[in-house]
A and B are shown apart, each in its own frame.
Chain A
Amino acid sequence: MRAKVHVFLKPGVLDVQGKAVEQALHGLGWNDVEHVRVGKTIEFDLKSGDAAAAEAEVKAMCEKLLANTVIESYRVELA
């Protein structure tokens, strides 16, 4: 099973990188772009075949290491 974890700064936490990318896009003429957020994706394989168990494991990984929930939110995809 392949897990994808998407981690982004929470709404309300200033994403300066997103802001810089947004300004660069505006500079290239894409003036209608707004609210750019830059996050990261972490992918890995899991030996488990049980989707529910895998989801619980990946969430535990997010809480413990992959995301800092003081400033970040995360979304898990399993396929």
Chain B
Amino acid sequence: MKAAVIVFPGSNCDRDCKVAIERSTGAKVDMVWHGEAALPDGLDLIVLPGGFSYGDYLRCGAMASLSPVMTEVKAAAERGVAVVGICNGFQVLCEAHMLPGALLRNEKLKYVCKAVDLEVTNSQTRFTAGYAGRREVAMTVGNGEGNFFADDATLDRLEGEGQVVFRYRNNPNGSSRDIAGIVNPKGNVLGLMPHPDRAFEPELGSADGAILFQSALASA
């Protein structure tokens, strides 16, 4: 099993992601600089980490979505490789049009950093199969622009097609329809604002994030 974490200038959860994936799955994790024109061979999982890529300038994730390596990430996703974007990584996936919608400023204008309870809305995805039908998991969020927005037609489609994977029990940021995480139609690209990389062992308050990484790699 092999995974890569993409490192953008301003990423700050890249090493957390590496440690979280290694400890929860035993996979080998490569760190890949955003300027690379190629990805390592034989990847089963690519993670876009949280942080403040390019200082959140212009729009969160906008400049990172145009990084050289993103061409390869898109190609890998089209080949069916699992891609997970966490927090800023979710913003990057939306800006790269690999997922629909966008992340707006939080409704109350505050940076929200806290533990959140999530409903697993779809337990049939390759990222959530390991929850084995569990309806509720715990992770943490830390974001200022985590308010998921899409037009009503897109939201209806996401819900109708089972693309909403996680919902907040108590919406911390005003996200449309309490959405915390979504997948693409093919089911191999997941974006979520909560951090599975900050919830991978009981000492962190929750080990539920470990199951997400294990599922992603078990299905590879």
Contact = CB atoms under 8 A, between A and B. Distances in A.
Interface of A: 9, 13-14, 16-17, 20, 64-66, 68, 70-71
Interface string B154-174: 000000000000000000001
A47 B106 CA distance: 39
Interface stretch (B31-39, B97-105, B194-202): B97-105
B177 interface: no
16 contacts: A13-B104, A14-B174, A16-B105, A16-B107, A16-B109, A17-B105, A17-B109, A65-B58, A65-B63, A68-B62, A68-B95, A70-B94, A70-B100, A70-B149, A70-B150, A71-B104
Nearest to B100: A70
For chain B, which range describes its interface: under 10, 10 to 19, 20 to 34, or 35 or more residues? 10 to 19
Contacts of B104: 9, 13-14, 16, 71
Contacts of A64: 66
Contacts of B100: 70
A71 B174 CA distance: 15
A62 to B, nearest CB: 12
Nearest to B97: A70
- A-B pairs, 9 with minimum CB distance: A71-B102, A70-B102, A16-B105, A16-B109, A68-B59, A68-B102, A20-B109, A16-B107, A71-B149
Nearest to B66: A65
Which of A17, A64, A70 has the most chain B CB atoms inside 10 A of its CB?
A70
A64 B58 CA distance: 13
A53 to B, nearest CB: 23
A70 B149 CA distance: 9
A68 to B, nearest CB: 6
Contacts of B66: 64-65
Contacts of B108: 16
